[in-house]
Structure 1
């Protein structure tokens, strides 16, 4: 199902649970409309936006986690497919962008934290880093958050990054994709691209 990837050497991948605004962010980054529905889980397969001359692709992976109207078995299958995809292409992925909803992410993480449970967002963050993929957490919908610094500090704390968040600006990027406010993300991505000698890709971010 996930075998639609163009044969490109370099990739930036967007990951995140359903309905956090990945497809909106993808549209901001590429200027291209993808099928974004009002319903969570519309993106069931990866959306690839391909720049053949640069041997580069941006990929929006399907949302994981709870989706209303989607059977649990199907949800688990999607998550498994995402994990396999990331493992398979880890060496090609220059940067992963983990998109979270700034308004609800702390509640969601805390609700799913327990002795036997690691919240998806936290698990995905550590999984990406374990694969050696530079990861930026795009904290979306920040226009709906009142105390921004406090929220971002709490998120760092949950991710195992010592607050204050401002010392992690190459990892934590507060954005509002719907309003086109994604500069902190672009800066963080560029920093990782630079480290990998890919300044030629700056024009996309």
Structure 2
């Protein structure tokens, strides 16, 4: 069970373990207190960074999927806690940022696609949409991807979005958090903040 959260609107970061959520969180907030590590599953509780006077925060939720040294039942518990958190706080979530690894996400989705299986990334994308939460897919580590357009088109296809990816500029944001290259994500968040009449928050995504 996750700890109590501050009472304010938020942008949540969700995604598999080890895709760079905590690195992105540091880049978004400008603060280095968020723990990162080479082992998946470092983040076990939501990491909140809030501006109390603004009633706004960024939240890095624990990673789902494989975690080194973590038993399957515990991984399922974490995933359940993530789902409950999103359901309980959907009305206060201005945007959900689904962080994926640009180099491996399509292969991971394909590996876990089957008649009785929905890949976690695809499931989370559609779950957020069903909750009415605007979703940005932050395709991280794009500095390691050679065939950028082809890879992003393939990702759109797996998510049920008709390629080419460039027509989904508010949804697909190719970034490299480690290098501080996250302008496409900022632009998507700016759009969603404006649509929800929170232009006062644009200073946090520019």
Q: 2 CA distance for matches of 1:2 and 1:59?
A: 12
Name structure 2 gaps, 5 residues minimum. none
Name the structure 1 match of 2:28. 29
- Does 1:13 pair with 2:12? yes
Q: Secondary structure at the match of 1:62?
A: coil
Report if the CA contact (8 A) 2:3-2:45 is conserved.
no
Q: Secondary structure at the match of 2:115?
A: coil
Name the structure 1 match of 2:195. 195
Q: Please give the per-residue CA displacement for 1:16-49, whole angstroms capped at 9, x wherever unaligned.
A: 0000000000000001121112211000000000
Name the structure 1 match of 2:129. 129
Report if the CA contact (8 A) 2:13-2:97 is conserved.
yes
Name the structure 2 match of 1:107. 107
Task: Extract structure 1 runs of 4+ deviating beyond 3 A.
Answer: none
Please report how far the alpha carbon of residue 102 of structure 1 lies from its aligned counterpart in structure 2 after TM superposition. 0.1
- Matched pairs, number: 204
Please report how far the alpha carbon of residue 3 of structure 1 lies from its aligned counterpart in structure 2 after TM superposition. 2.3
Q: 2 CA distance for matches of 1:39 and 1:107?
A: 20
Q: Secondary structure at the match of 1:91?
A: helix
C-alpha RMSD of matched pairs (Å): 0.6
Q: Secondary structure at the match of 1:28?
A: helix
Q: TM-score, normalised by structure 1?
A: 0.98
Q: 2 CA distance for matches of 1:149 and 1:188?
A: 18
- Does 1:76 pair with 2:76? yes
Q: Secondary structure at the match of 2:75?
A: helix
